[in-house]
Copies of this chain bind each other. A is one copy, B any other.
């Protein structure tokens, strides 16, 4: 399938043309289920972000519509998600106090910046930046964020006024307020948590034992959160639990998403730029991995750069309609997919459902206890917490383990921004450090073959006059001096060596610093009467070297294969004649 440039940036033109009744019916069903699921989730995540509940609903309407136009995934559901909500609270909390007008305005600015960054990355095709977030860092970050989020909600379950951005602060603050626990709130919250866990683990089985068909049972499970909302709201309203100290959502404006203009003052932009970048990249990574997983199941393809544009448009939409930063959520997308969403139109219908909710249903949630929303969040995010990555990484490599451990510890101890930044920085630094001290193997001929392997690991033939070093890394400024020193140190111990062959099969690049270092090595070896050769230099590296003076001044030769080098040099010396490997016969004849 070939795309015109316009169709590439407006995927809706492609799927819209083949839209029919069957697709409509699938999409409508999915939309109804997702809408029911999203109402409590949107309210809860807005609370997590420190925003009024309606912001969560608004953040689910325009963004979904815009993603439906620009996005490439058929099942991705865009809106508020847990981790991004937490990051929003952390970022906006640095520039404004919760509950103030400035706080909500800063959240709009954050969404606008995030949208602009995503859009720019998409148009400039910078999606590869997300590759610099390693899997262990992401896994560690998500786990730590889940813990932070769940801990942060405990105060709503207990009905106390604790605070804190980091795990120690939160725990300390909870401890200090432990005498003020409101028993009614705790009963409601704990009940909701228990119910929601049962919904996840036991409800489907129970329904099926009651004879409910498996499909319907699956759908009914999705209504669990809204059931908790309805029941606890009714309890509070009926028994006037508000006057018993149970915190409730209260008055929520009954309106369409408002038209809002984000505050673009330079100071605010400067303080929110870095958090916006982190939110964009993390949101993109979360979204694209969900989209790719779901697409792979139906052998569809996701265009990462177009996804950036879709998410950018969605965030700009959130900025102008009273929302806050959004991305493609895991749970809601899976529900959307399982419910049969066939095109992005399912998202558009969900947006319509949520609009109806925003206009018609908001008065009904006046008595909704915040403890119920907190319970929804806790049960949702605990599924993100997964420490097995620590064990996997420990078994596999200490470097990967350090990256995960630092990410988890710093996220818990110093907050989300410090955690993810340190994780990314550490994983890149560890990579740089390792490639600055490359593995250099001394190799010899595997008898009976033309293959050369490490003398320390394999039983191989060598020649005392010939030293072959396989350099297991591209040569660049950080390791140029390392190779030079390694060769010189090796030769200082061994006066028999007359030829040094650098086997370049693993050298994918030689930069200018490394070139200068190789030239210096050539001169120093010449001064001590040793000839320098190269073998298995790759095409792109050879092209580069031919533009320099190294090859003119080289005391030895460049051989196409290590076998050629060995055959040419070892033939001159003793070792080779004494024990000719079988393969030589075919070579020599």
User: Given A396-B515, A431-B478, A435-B435, 13 more contacts at CB 8 Å?
Assistant: A128-B482, A132-B477, A134-B476, A134-B513, A135-B480, A397-B511, A400-B511, A428-B432, A431-B477, A449-B563, A453-B560, A454-B538, A583-B583
At the interface, is chain A mostly helix, strand, loop or mixed?
helix
A273 to chain B minimum Cβ distance, whole angstroms, is 17
If A450-B449, A547-B395 touch, whether A540 touches B439 (CB-CB below 8 Å) is yes
Nearest residue (CB) in B for A435 is B474
Does residue A516 face the partner (Cβ distance < 8 Å to B)? Answer: yes
A520 to chain B, nearest CB (A): 9
What's the nearest-Cβ distance from chain B to residue A219, in Å? 29
Q: Which 4 A-B pairs have the closest CB atoms?
A: A134-B477, A400-B512, A135-B513, A472-B508
Give A587's nearest chain B residue, CB to CB.
B583
A560 nearest CB neighbor, chain B only:
B451
Q: Smallest CB–CB gap between A488 and chain B, Å?
A: 10
Which of B399, B480, B481 lies in contact with A511, CB distance below 8 A?
B399
Question: Judging by beta carbons under 8 Å apart, are A397 and B477 in contact?
Answer: no
Q: How close is A418's CB to chain B, nearest CB, in angstroms? A: 18
- Is A444's CB within 8 Å of the partner chain B? no
Cβ < 8 Å to B, chain A residues 438-463: 438-439, 441, 446, 449-451, 453-454, 457
22 A-B contact pairs sorted by A residue (CB < 8 Å)? A131-B478, A131-B481, A132-B478, A135-B480, A136-B512, A396-B512, A396-B515, A396-B544, A396-B548, A399-B511, A400-B511, A431-B476, A431-B511, A435-B435, A438-B508, A439-B538, A441-B538, A446-B561, A451-B561, A472-B538, A473-B474, A506-B507
A450 cross-chain contacts in B, Cβ below 8 A: 449-451, 563, 583
When distances are taken between beta carbons in the complex, the residues of chain B under 8 Å from A396 are 512, 515, 544, 547-548
- Complex Cα–Cα for A448 and B506 (A): 23
State how many angstroms separate the Cβ of A139 from the closest Cβ of chain B. 9
Q: How far is the CA of A396 from the CA of B544 in the complex (A)?
A: 6
**Which B residues are in CB contact (< 8 Å) with A431?**
476-478, 511
Q: Which residues from 539 to 587 on chain A have a C-beta closer than 8 Å to any C-beta of chain B?
A: 539-540, 544, 547-548, 560-561, 563, 582-583, 585-587
8 A Cβ contacts from A400-442 to B: 400, 427-428, 431-432, 434-439, 441
* CB of A393 within 8 Å of the partner chain: yes
A505 in the interface (beta carbon within 8 A): yes
Contacts of A544 in B (CB 8 A): 396-397
Q: Which residues of B contact A509 (CB under 8 A)?
A: 434
Closest-by-CB residue of B relative to A134 is: B477
Q: When each residue 286-312 of chain A gets 1 if its CB lies under 8 Å from chain B and 0 otherwise, what string results?
A: 000000000010000000000000000
Q: Once bound together, how far apart are the Cα atoms of A349 and B202, in whole Å?
A: 87
Given A474-B435, A477-B131, verify A505-B508 contact (CB < 8 Å).
no
- The contact of A436 among B132, B446, B451, B473, by CB within 8 Å, is B132
Instruction: Tell me the bound Cα distance from A561 to B508 in angstroms.
Output: 19
Residues of B within 8 A of A260 (CB): none
Residue of B nearest to A581 (CB): B586
